[in-house]
């Protein structure tokens, strides 16, 4: 009796095991299609919840809402709004006024190299020596504010433009405003029709876009600075088409304030080749931040 009782459960266990194996093999290789066989299948346990409880049916995350790159490369030719967006101006101002302290040892012979470059420049004049924005105003009767505005106009037109073309365009502006009975002032530029101003700037790179820059700048100077130009870096950077390079040059040439060095891609490249500046982005000699 005991032997039979012991054997019967064993047979039952073997049968159950075989049935389990058969069921497993059948599910894996040939899933049942009849209603009855499906009902006999035990229900699968629910999947474990995700750790962050993310709904799989929800929309993917909006990557545009992520914080912006803390060190973006500024655009040299920003879009020409009627007035520069405050956010863009703030970003430029922050990138231009943030001081970076870096331990950098110049080459031991840099003074000799500098003297050689100075001697070469003395014997080989460049267009900027006779047409640069820092030269005295040819109009001897111009007021200091008018001279400063002419300097700013020259800088705004100089972006990606040869000095000869910039000087010629400024000369045409002077002649047009004089023919209208005035001088080169923000009010005179604001009064010029857009088509006429665009024609006067022809020959300057992006002259159509710079037409909008000059018109918007003229209005801002009249409304905020009584026709003069700002004397601080942040105020200059708010003007359309003005970047750090132009702002530093405007402060130095128009106001006589040396707040920094105007660096463009040429200064950046030559300084690295001479070994006078580090090449890491965001540091002296790094990626130039606009004009």
Could you tell me which residues come within 8 angstroms of residue 206 by beta carbon, excluding any fewer than 6 positions away? 77, 159, 160
Active site residue 245: yes
Catalytic residue chosen out of the listed positions 84, 210, 215, 245: 245
Which residues are catalytically annotated?
A: 245
């Amino acid at each position: 009796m005991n032997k039979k009782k012991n054997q019967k459960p064993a047979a039952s266990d073997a049968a159950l095991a075989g049935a389990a194996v058969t069921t497993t093999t059948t599910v894996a290789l040939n899933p049942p299609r009849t209603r009855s066989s499906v009902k006999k299948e035990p229900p699968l346990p629910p999947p474990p919840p995700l750790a962050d409880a993310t709904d799989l049916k929800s929309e993917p995350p909006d990557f545009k809402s992520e914080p912006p790159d803390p060190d973006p490369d500024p655009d040299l030719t920003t879009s020409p709004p009627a007035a520069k967006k405050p956010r863009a101006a703030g970003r430029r101002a922050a990138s231009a006024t943030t001081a970076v302290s870096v331990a950098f040892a110049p080459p031991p012979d840099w003074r000799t190299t500098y003297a050689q470059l100075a001697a070469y420049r003395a014997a080989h004049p460049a267009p900027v020596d006779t047409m640069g924005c820092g030269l005295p105003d040819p109009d001897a009767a111009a007021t200091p504010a008018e001279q400063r505005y002419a300097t700013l106009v020259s800088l705004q037109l100089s972006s990606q433009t040869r000095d000869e073309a910039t000087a010629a365009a400024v000369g045409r502006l002077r002649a047009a405003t004089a023919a209208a009975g005035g001088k080169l002032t923000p009010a005179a530029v604001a009064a010029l029709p857009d088509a006429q101003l665009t024609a006067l700037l022809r020959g300057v790179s992006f002259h159509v876009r710079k037409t909008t820059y000059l018109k918007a700048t003229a209005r801002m100077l009249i409304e905020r600075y009584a026709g003069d130009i700002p004397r601080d870096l942040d105020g200059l950077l708010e003007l359309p088409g003005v970047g750090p390079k132009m702002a530093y040059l405007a402060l130095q040439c128009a106001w006589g304030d040396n707040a920094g060095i105007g660096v463009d891609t040429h200064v950046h490249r030559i300084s690295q080749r001479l070994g006078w500046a580090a090449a890491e982005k965001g540091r002296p000699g790094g990626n130039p931040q606009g004009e």
